[in-house]
Amino acid sequence: MTATASDELAYAGPGALADLVRRRQITPRELVELFLRRIEAIDPKLNAFRVTLGDQALAEAEAGSDGDADRPLAGVPIAVKDEMPLAGQATTKGSRSYGPPAAADAEIVRRLRAAGAIPIGVTNVPELMIFPWTASDANGVTRNPWNTERTPGGSSGGSAAAVAAGLAAAATAADGGGSIRIPAACCGLVGMKPTRGRVSSQPAREGLLGLSTYGALARTVGDSALLLDAIHGPAPGDLYEAPPFSGSYAQAAETPPGRLRIAISRKVPPGSIARLSGDQRSAHERTATLLAELGHEVIERDPAYGLAGIEFTQMWLRGIYEESAHVPDHSKLERSTRQLIATGKRIVPDRRREKLLAGRARRTARVLELWQEVDVLLMPVLASTPIAAEGGYGRSALGAFDRSSRFMPFNPLFNVTGQPSIALPAGFGADGLPLSVQLVGRPGAEDMLYSLAGQIEEARPWAHHRPRL
């Protein structure tokens, strides 16, 4: 296989690869071998993977070669974020202290396997998935394929780097304050943060007091929708439940949405000292203009932030404290992680925790009043293009938090409300790095977001852009 043919396959996406397998134009083993070669050649520059599963993936590919031809992800190699249990592998969550290998797959991994996908490796995360860059004492710094001096984002940064570099066809991800959307924005990918409860987090009942939602990263809207088709739906023991959906997200992505009323907002949330860069402002404005040209009604409206920023921070800190209960040896944690754990324990005691959860429905209802007037909200994802690869790694908790909040102020509100939001590529900045916007819908409206995102992608294609590796 020539280098050009190898690149075309590596970037074809899970939908196209599964179709090739079903038509017997390529075997799952050949796909696994292709991605393993690319990981060996490219990943030393990026550090996207904590571990690769070469022998296991090849064995699964052989076992599935004559499997069910109707499986939507037949033979597709995927990467798994080091947050989601994978049978036989330790889930380290970016830490030097972790428990034994998992006895069984997470529900999201089980569903991807059932759809025909083959896990090819485990991707890097910052310790306990805390920050929007991917660097840790345990695994070093993960780098952006578009510029290795910059971050791929976090906490799903290893997953984003792997997909953007063509080291996996797609990857699992999770978003507790932007951790699907931020890496998608940094790496020129599509990242859907589903409605709270849309994708089961089992065996975990919740993450970060319900702020966190599981999902996936892909290069196109259609492939993102295909992945959500494979992984969505409740499982026994889930704490949250999304509005029911019985259709096809992939079909929604191919269907124009009709005329929508779309609000646009660039307002930096109250309390944040972030400043929106000229590049990100221009990307937002160009997308708003495109939406009007596509026939949608575009108006300017800001969401009702209220005190959501403070409430998110308190829930996030308490969630970190609760997550730390699963860490065997706190002495092996990074300094900033230990500081955040202590802060969460001190300023969000049990009584405050219950008050925050009890008030979430009221806060969400206030924010959702905007969606009584509009169908979708268009916002930036990041305040700038990707920051330095290390981000705030090595700083104190306060310094790292400040760096984080200046970089990604637009995302946490929708983790509080549990609304779906999809990050989309929106061109490139003066530094050659990807720009992005996000579309936010009312709870349960992933299909509408996919319809609109697919329309944007058709009018402004981006999948032909690839980093030079």
C-alpha to C-alpha distance for 406 and 282, rounded to whole angstroms:
18
Q: Is 336 designated active site?
A: no
Q: How far apart are the first and last CA of the chain?
A: 18
147 SS3 class? strand
- Active-site residue, from 81, 159, 421, 436: 81
Supply φ then ψ for residue 233, to 5 degrees: 115, 150
356, 319 contact by CB (below 8 A):
no
271: left (phi over 0), alpha (psi -120 to 50) or beta: left
Query: What is the rounded distance in angstroms from the CA atom of residue 353 to the CA atom of residue 320?
Result: 13
* Structure-token pair, residue 108: 């999201």
Q: Where are any strands of DSSP class E within 89-183?
A: 118-123, 135-136, 140-141, 170-175
- Rounded to 5 degrees, φ, ψ at 133 are -140, 170
Catalytic: which of 155, 156, 224, 421?
A: 155
Q: Which of 157, 85, 169 is nearest to 125 (CA)?
A: 157
Give the type of residue at 237.
G
Residues 46 and 413: their CA atoms lie apart, in Å, by: 31
What one-character-per-residue DSSP string does 331-373 give? GGS-HHHHHHHHHHHHHS-HHHHHHHHHTHHHHHHHHHGGGGT
DSSP assignments along 383-430, one per residue: SSS--BTTTTTTS-HHHHHHHHHHH-TTSTHHHHHT--EEEEEEEE-T
User: What would you report as the CA-atom Rg of the chain, rounded to the nearest whole angstrom?
Assistant: 20
Candidate list 179, 201, 384, 436, residue with the active-site label: 179
155 part of the active site: yes
198's tokens: 């849309």
Active site residues: 81, 155, 179
